[in-house]
Chains A and B, each alone.
Chain A
Amino acid sequence: MNWGGLSEFLAMGGYGLYVWGSYGVTVALLGLEVILLMKRTQQREAKT
């Protein structure tokens, strides 16, 4: 285990902005792609 507590985990040894900026944008973009694909699938299947 690396972390003493939640605040230490979020701080990432002073690199929190960079680490969470990377993970946050990645999760947001992959999530957005999944949502867009689900919407597109629903639209196409509704038409057929």
Chain B
Amino acid sequence: MSATIKWFWFASPQSFFPLAGTIARVCWLGAALLAGAGLYVGFFVAPTDAQQGEAYRIIFIHVPAAWMSMFLYLVMASWAAIGLALNTRLSGMMASAIAPTGALFTFIALWTGALWGRPTWGAYWVWDARLTSELVLLFLYLGFMALQAAIDDPRRADRAGALLAIVGVVNVPIIYYSVQWWNTLHQGASVSLTRAPSMASTMLTGMLLMALAFWLYSIAAALTRVRCIILERE
């Protein structure tokens, strides 16, 4: 038996179901362990910030949550696009399974940002390009979920949702580059692939541990939810 056949075999919801359960269990455990390590580094190893005092410790959830909010949208839209192109049942289910977790992380990014903005900028909210485009992302997630909930036939709901998700992708680069394109109150990226990060290495370690924890959490939550969706539809 060649290995290439396996990929198509797992594209069927019935054969994906037990695999999703196993991956989800491993990811739940990994997320808990990494979050524990990340919080330890974040609160007990990383030093106090010279400018912001202890308020900066919000970074350990704010930045990973904001990364996940954008990344999950891209993953959701990719599944939606695959579903639209190949008409595979599992793809639409995956897109629906990711949306609530993506919306959750978008809300957390906005909420923690507001609580960070108050002590550092003096305001919970400003109509800044970064904040506004992130708020639009929340509405895209909620719109996707509301649209799918409003259509009774799951296959039609998948197609309608996919269209909305794909059109909304344009918002993700707007969020990411907003701090460069516009003169925003929100600061630019402290971490990027092209240059050294502009923060203490223990702060970066804590942030990356939390980002990994949120990654595994998202995988676990999406796979647990897709198992429920498979049972509900099939």
Residues of A within 8 A of B (CB): 1-3, 9, 12-15, 17-19, 21-23, 25-26, 29-30, 33-34, 37, 40-41, 44-45, 47-48
Contacts and interface: CB of A to CB of B under 8 A. Distances in A.
B64 to A, nearest CB: 10
A33 B44 contact: no
Contact of A22 (B44, B53, B111, B228): B111
Contacts, number: 75
A26 B61 contact: yes
Q: Contact residue range for chain B? A: 20 to 34
Given A2-B44, A44-B228, A48-B231, A15 B217 contact: no
Identify which of A1, A3, A9, A15 gathers the most chain B CB atoms within 10 Å of its CB. A15
Residues of A contacting B: mostly:
helix
Residues of B contacting A: mostly:
helix
Interface of B: 43-44, 47-48, 53-55, 57-58, 61-62, 65, 100-101, 104, 107-108, 111-112, 115-116, 118-119, 217, 221, 224-225, 227-228, 231-232
Contact of A18 (B48, B108, B118, B225): B118
Given A2-B47, A13-B48, A41-B228, A19 B54 contact: yes
